[in-house]
Chains A and B, each alone.
Chain A
Amino acid sequence: MLDLTLEDIDGILVRYNVALEKEMTPDEAAEELYPKDELIYPIAKAIYEGEEDDVVDALKAAIDAGKKPIDLINDALMIGMGVVSQLYDEGIIFLPNVMMSADAMLNGIEYCKSQTTEVPAPKGKVVCHVAEGDVHDIGKNIVAALLRAAGYDVTDLGRDVPVDEVIEIVEKEKPMMLTGTALMTTTMYAFKEINDKLLEKGIKLPFACGGGAVNQDFVAQYDLGVYGEEASDAVKIADAIIASGDDIEKLREEFHKH
């Protein structure tokens, strides 16, 4: 077959990603971000490495040394996950690293809860679902894992969730935010029905939607809709609600990019 010379290729494509790659390895970058406390450091490091057993071992050591299990959730596990989130946001580590860290962190939270009668205070409650008629849930699973890893209490309704069930759970759980994902155009129409039924009941909350065929124009058609282009936007939208309230217009100003 015909072929290009090495020199020819540069004129056809530009490797911006190679040119921009950070000098530091991910491990070196993480090392700079870990807390210095000698009891907290191994917990944060084990979270970054996604090693569930090491997380529990490090938590045990910290508890034996006098740390309160309930405090370790915010002061160690969340700190470790913060390192992971920052490195992911900066493009230094990949999503699977984040997912494995999230698994390790949730394991750590369960361990902390098993060591105390105190109940940890979540940052807020979020209900997640996949649109009625749609069984594609990998996007929703990423959203739920990232939200949990960021300290939110997630009620995961699963996939192919009937509109009325979403309304019922929102009425019951009173979340700070609802998320919806869909792959296909004909299923995402369920989002508008949810929006209309919530408004009929006088319920106003940000309804973060995204996935496959979902686009900003469609989401902007209904009053509660806030479009998330990436799964990680769900956490950013939730954090924005905690920081500045749930004014949907303001959220759209921040997250509607097109």
Chain B
Amino acid sequence: MVKKYTSMAYAKADDMLFGNSKYPVKAGLGLEIGAGYTTPELNYAPRPQAGKSKDKLVKEYERITTDAMARMVQIGAPSIVLETEHVEQMSNNPDWGGAVAHAQKTIMEEYHDEYGIKCALRHTIGDIREDRDYLQLRGDKYSTFMEAFEQCAQNGADLLSVESMGGKEVFDYSILRNDTAGILFGIGVLGSMDMEMVWSDIADIAKKNGVVAAGDTDCAQANTAMFIAGGLLDKNLAHTIAIVARAISAGRSLCAYEAGATGPGKDCGYENTIIKSIAGVPIAQEGKTSTCAHSDLMGNLTMQCCDLWSNESVEYHGEFGGTTVQCWSETLAYDCAMMNTSLKLGKAKDLRDILTLSDKYRDPQGYVLAYDNAYKVGEAIAKNGDNNYLRTKAAAIECCNIVEEGINSGKLKLTRFETNALAKVKADLEALTDDADKFMSDNLTKFKQEVAVFKTENYGL
């Protein structure tokens, strides 16, 4: 059994700030994350052809690593985290991931030895627990999945992460049908159950190898909702529903820390400010400097409480200013220099509020994730912390209340479509049972019938 969070790490929202976490994490070569300064976290993807062989992939990552480290030294950046999100070839063949980690860390050690730059390597293993037709969360691939973590930990990765997929089969079906109970069941119940299993094992591997279990993100679900929702003119999904999915996702991502992870949470976990308020762990975030990967209506706000500042992902290729990893790491480093300067000058809270306010009223997603409101969602989770269903339901209802308050204040202006979708999702939530066992039983019955690819054995049910 994992120990659940039932109280808040911070006494009040105003205590949360970028570059500072309640429980900083030492990692890699001289780095301490959340210990009074922010650090850029560069993320990249190899070119399509590089996946053809192990040698080609290792060489590609060697180029990426050398380019990035060299640029950081060229501009005088004091620290850097490199994040290698595995392509499927690396997770399905754990020795490939291990070889890449070893090659990267060797280069990083050379730069650290020569220049003293503080640095760490995050490897994010791909969730490969699927075959063509079904999620196989507990099937044959689980041992390969864990071996991939082991190989990376043994060969140089300092931080272990994953974007796990538990609950996605029910979520994908539900989000396209405005099925509120299904969204809650997929993310809050099934996803949380899977997280508890996966992260107990990852934490054990990290402990055994003396590295850091860094955390998960509900990318597969909450970011899918955010991505489908798109910009203000898109009509693919109500943004009010996307933020409810996000509030639910905080309860799910929190499970990693309850199982032994210590952070920094993954950059694309937009739920991370909520998590930080409850768990006090350092977090990575992405925003305006990740527009190379996607658009999200929260370019500045997400910087409010970050400890690592990420670009999400960029394909490795040439630009006028150098390779993409050089250009984006430089941009990240200047962002971090700005935050770190404000910390030195005692102006950090003002900068934090400016960053937050520049996006807070842009969209219901930014409104709820603004640190003051994110803290309220955190409180709703902690109050119901012992039960995965009840805490995610409470987070979802609190999220709806916060958006309503924003609308009533006149500052958060939404279209009729968005307010109608909010009214529906809130009514759906309020109609749900408070009996967690009944919710489980009802939804198991329903989704076994409606979602052909939903296998209860994936969740030990």
Residues in chain A within 8 A of chain B (CB atoms): 1-4, 6, 9, 12-13, 15-18, 20-21, 25-26, 88, 91-97, 99-100, 103, 133-135, 137-138, 141-142, 158-161, 184-189, 192, 213, 218
Contact = CB atoms under 8 A, between A and B. Distances in A.
A239 B30 CA distance: 59
B445 interface: no
Contact of A16 (B50, B228, B232): B232
B235 A15 contact: no
Contacts, number: 119
B48 A188 contact: yes
B238 interface: yes
20 contacts: A1-B13, A1-B372, A4-B411, A16-B232, A18-B415, A21-B415, A94-B417, A95-B228, A100-B178, A103-B177, A133-B88, A138-B172, A141-B176, A159-B132, A160-B130, A161-B132, A184-B88, A186-B50, A186-B89, A213-B313
B177 A96 contact: yes
Interface in B12-44: 13-14
Contacts of B47: 185
Interface stretch (B145-153, B192-200, B353-361): B353-361
Given A2-B353, A6-B410, A184-B45, A95 B362 contact: no
Contact of A96 (B51, B176, B232, B416): B176
Interface in B64-82: none
B357 A185 contact: no
B337 interface: no
A160 B416 CA distance: 40
Nearest to A8: B357
A16 B233 contact: yes
B88 A134 contact: yes
B89 A99 contact: no
Given A185-B48, A186-B88, A94 B132 contact: no
Nearest to B372: A1
A186 B357 contact: no
B235 A138 contact: no
B62 to A, nearest CB: 16
A119 B9 CA distance: 65
Contacts of B342: none
Interface in B365-397: 371-372
A18 B413 contact: yes
| Count class of interface residues, chain B | 35 or more
B261 interface: no
B362 A13 contact: yes
B237 A96 contact: yes
Contact of B233 (A13, A17, A25): A17
Given A1-B356, A141-B172, A189 B133 contact: no
A96 B312 CA distance: 28
Given A4-B357, A103-B177, A160-B131, 6 more contacts: A13-B361, A21-B416, A95-B237, A138-B172, A184-B87, A186-B87
B456 interface: no
B87 A1 contact: no
Contacts of A93: 235
A101 B47 CA distance: 39
B99 interface: no
B144 to A, nearest CB: 14
A135 B136 CA distance: 12
Given A15-B232, A25-B416, A158-B133, A2 B176 contact: no
Please indicate which of the listed interface residues A17, A20, A134, A188 has the most CB atoms of chain B within 10 Å of its own CB.
A17
Contacts of B8: none
